[in-house]
Structure 1
Amino acid sequence: MQKSNIFIISGPSGAGEDSIINGLKELFPIERVITTTTRGMRLGEDQGNPYYFISEKEFKGDIDKGNFAEYAQQYNENLYGVTKTELERVQKSGKIGIWKIEYKGVMSVKKIYPEIVAIFVNAESLEILENRIRQRDNASDEYIKERMEYTKEWLKHKDIYDYEVVNEEGKLDEAIKKVADIIKARV
């Protein structure tokens, strides 16, 4: 089993990836893998928090040079990706690298970096995922429908992950412990 200090935490909307990541911060020295984006910087954000912000021209130039480990154009037309340099920075940090990406990114990354451990976070059912999104986002029915369709597509690709952790309703601490145990076994 190859050792890695970078762990992908990935799951559909409502699965609880952010809650698990926040719990892991209490247990490990965490170094977040920072995504690069073409979207504009918002109030309260700065370079490297929560993204590296660059122009579309610069981003496309980096694509042409092969500088990205993975990238994608999102529904909002902005480009998002993680550079190979960013992964090297996190690997050299000596900390546990946490990288939150969606399944399409996992597919790309595992081809180039098979040693990076991908953990799929899920809930017990689609109904629970939907309820969590409704409670958290106060979202429209149309938004919920879109998220659930995307979730169904995501679930078709569970086999690309190294591990699956079910974040059961009311048992977040157990899910955090399961992910922490995976990390301890793989570093």
Structure 2
Amino acid sequence: MGSDVPDPARRVVVLSGPSAVGKTTVMRRLRAEYPELAIAPTVTTRPIRRGEVDGSPYYFVDDETFDRKIDAGEFLEWAVVHRRARYGTPRAAVEEALAAGRPVLIEVDLQGARQVRHTMPEAYFVFLAPPSWDELVRRLVGRGTESAEERERRLATAREELAAEAEFDATVVNTDVGNVCRELVALLGSSPSHARRH
């Protein structure tokens, strides 16, 4: 579906995958070990969780503020996630990083990835997959942060997201966070990647 190597003039990699596959862990490691990467921030209407800080990596806003940003065309993509809170990627943050010559990584859900494919088709799309469905369920239940109802909702969403894997340019299986990070950094640079391509 896209070229094998991202356009060097606009190096944007979009990372997506099902809930609990480990996207947050991967992004946390990337921020710590690869500070040269520009990682697009996220604006969300979900409540702030214990230990989180506004602006790193989420900006927490109310529904009215989010609506104003939509109306002003400030999002590269936005979506309702798990049928509840809204999340969006600020267009300006991505464009500023690209203008400065920095590679950009955007982490979004499936809805967001599909929107970015329309708004920025030159981006390279990577699907982060679990080693197996059973492992995904174990990770989701093991987090202990969601109610039973929320877990079922997320599992239903995850099934839909796994079925969309073929829409992506490459798949990276999250068996080791360090390896996933190296794959993504390779994709954001000019060196070839060993990610499985469709």
- Normalized against structure 1, the TM-score is what? 0.80
Are residues 1:164 and 2:167 paired?
A: no
Asked if 1:178 is matched to 2:196, the reply is no
Deviation per residue, 1:97-117 (Å, 9 max, x gap): 222110000000110101222
Contact 1:6 1:90 (8 Å CA) reproduced = no
5+ residue gaps, structure 2, are 193-198
CA distance in 2, matches of 1:14, 1:146: 12
Tell me if 1:86 matches 2:89.
no
Secondary structure of the 1:66 match is coil
From 30, 37, 40, the equivalent of 1:33 is: 40
Give how far 1:55 is off.
4.2
1:56/1:131 CA distance change after superposition, 3 Å: closer
- 1:16 is aligned to 22
Q: Secondary structure at the match of 1:62?
A: helix
Q: Secondary structure at the match of 1:185?
A: coil
Shift of 1:57: 3.0
State the Cα distance separating 1:77 from its structure 2 match.
Answer: 4.4
Which runs of structure 2 are paired with 1:58-77 in the superposition (5 Å)? 58-75=65-82, 77=84
Identity across the alignment (%): 26
Deviates more, 1:56-65 or 1:126-135: 56-65
**CA positional deviation for 1:61:** 2.9
1: distance between equivalents of 2:51 and 2:146?
Answer: 24
2: distance between equivalents of 1:114 and 1:101?
A: 15
- Please say if residues 31 and 90 of structure 1, whose CA atoms lie closer than 8 Å, have aligned partners that are also in contact: yes
Residues 36/140 of structure 1: CA separation in 2 closer, same or farther (3 Å cut): closer
Secondary structure of 2:127's partner? Answer: strand
Matched residues in 1 for 2:137 and 2:130: separation?
10
Partner of 1:107: 114
Matched letter for residue 110 of structure 1: R
Contact 1:7-1:99 at 8 Å conserved across structures? yes
Q: Distance in 2 between matches of 1:43 and 1:172?
A: 24
Rounded to whole Å, the distance in 1 between the matches of 2:23 and 2:107 is: 8
TM-score, scaled relative to structure 2: 0.76
Distance verdict in 2 for CA 1:74–1:180, change over 3 Å? closer
8 Å Cα contact 2:76/2:90 also seen in 1: yes
**Residues paired across the two proteins, number:** 185
Q: Which amino acid aligns with 1:56?
A: D
The yes-or-no answer on 1:117 pairing with 2:108 is no
The residue aligned with 2:157 is 150
C-alpha separation in 2, matches of 1:73 and 1:53: 15
RMSD: 2.8
